[in-house]
Amino acid sequence: MNHVTVAICNYNYERYLVEAIDSALAQDYPGTEVLVIDDGSTDGSRAVIEQYGTRISSIFKPNGGQVSAYNHAIGVLETDYVIFLDSDDILYPSAVSEVMRLFVDGNWAKVQFRLDVMDSDSVLTGTHVPHSEPPHDCGKLLLGGWLYPSPPASGNAYRVSALRRFFPIPEEGINRYGADFYAIYGAALTGPIATVPKSLGGYRVHNAHGETVSFANSEQINKAPKIFNLRWAILRDIARNRLQIELPPVFYDFSHERATFCSSVYRATLPTRWRWMTRNSHTYLHTIIANPFWGVKKKLGTLVLSSLCLVPYSPLSDFVVRYISNPLARRRAVGR
């Protein structure tokens, strides 16, 4: 039997850590191993981890950021497959079994699956990520600069040999975080991607209750575009030097452009909103109109919603921005 590691990277998430570890231990796939990498937590995480004893493996390292935790984990993994589970997310019991059915039938570099979005209290919101399913050959799209639709970190299972082709990743400065960016898109440069067309876990969105904007759980939405550009530049260097693959200097991704859109027009004056939409929205609109993963209906709907930001009634404009950027703005009363 092929063995799989659920690697849980944790930093100061004592509140959610038990849910994450328990969900990994509850997998119905017999060859599942659980590894927790604690990145120098200062809360009660260590005591939580130690209470599991030999049921899990654990590594306690000085704080270095998420990239450092991924680098360390990939260096010590002894299984052929891994799921990197964020310590505030969960896996459903059949997650490992479902991805392994695909891995054993094909030479996939990565198998991804949807995640149900939940709030900070573990209440399901009625939405999931991602909303689009990519083709198997995502590498070709990356060569054209298109970032393919992928779930966040916890919704991806990797062949470890694929990850080791481009990890370790530089850990310095602003690049301490975002390790899943390199794993998600780097994997597609090493082989085909498979998708399980259903939700196999839960993704927690923090500090967002439908009345705020949210981008990738970042509290500083205005920094997201700059960080993405830096990560793309680093990925290009790694692809060139380690994989002998040349990626274009610019990339296209609706999530990235959405962050720019939201930070530019949210709670802005009407002249500011009009100025941005008429002068600076070219790339944002391009990632909608030319999006290779969306159908016509979704493109038209997103264009109509975006145009509502130009109305003089600011409460409507701000609601539209929240609706586009924040899954919890679209929440339904699920599980209440």
Question: In the chain, where are the structural domains located?
Answer: 4-242, 254-330
Locus of tokens 């802005």: 268
Q: Which helix (H) or strand (E) holds 126?
A: strand 124-129
Burial of 318 (0-12, 13-18, 19+ CB in 10 A): middle
What is the predicted pLDDT for the residue at 217? Answer: 43
Q: DSSP H helical segments within the chain, as ranges? A: 14-25, 45-50, 66-76, 95-103, 138-143, 160-163, 179-188, 224-242, 254-265, 270-279, 282-289, 296-307, 314-325
* Cβ(113)–Cβ(200) below 8 Å: yes
Beta partners for 84? Answer: 7
**Which amino acid appears at position 271 of this protein?**
P
* Cβ(128)–Cβ(138) below 8 Å: no
Beta partners for 202? Answer: 90, 116
Domain boundaries 4-242, corresponding CATH code: 3.90.550.10
First to last CA, the chain: 40
Burial per residue of 184-223, b for 16 or more beta-carbon CB atoms within 10 angstroms, e otherwise: bbbbbbbbbbbbbeebbbbbbbeebebeebbbbebeebee
Q: Which two tokens stand for residue 35?
A: 């590894």
What is the predicted pLDDT for the residue at 176? Answer: 85
DSSP string, 176-211: GS-HHHHHHHHHHTTS-EEEEEEEEEEEE--S-SSS
Burial per residue of 8-36, b for 16 or more beta-carbon CB atoms within 10 angstroms, e otherwise: bbbbbbbebbebbbebbeebebebbbbbb
Alpha carbon distance 327, 208 (integer Å):
9
Tens-level pLDDT at each residue, the chain (336 residues): 899 999 999 999 999 999 999 999 999 999 999 999 999 999 999 999 999 999 999 999 999 999 999 999 999 999 999 999 999 999 999 999 999 999 998 899 999 999 999 988 999 988 899 988 899 999 999 999 999 999 999 999 999 999 999 999 998 776 788 899 999 999 999 999 999 999 999 999 876 454 555 544 444 455 556 788 899 999 999 999 999 999 999 999 998 898 889 889 999 999 999 999 999 999 999 999 999 999 999 999 999 999 999 999 999 999 888 888 765 655 543 333
What is the predicted pLDDT for the residue at 322? Answer: 85
DSSP state of 147: P
Locus of tokens 């038990």: 18
What is the predicted pLDDT for the residue at 214? Answer: 52
What is the predicted pLDDT for the residue at 259? Answer: 85
For the entire predicted model, the pTM comes to 0.90
Tell me phi and psi for residue 7, to 5 degrees.
Answer: -95, 115
The closest of 261, 245, 234, 298 to 138, measured between CA atoms, is 245
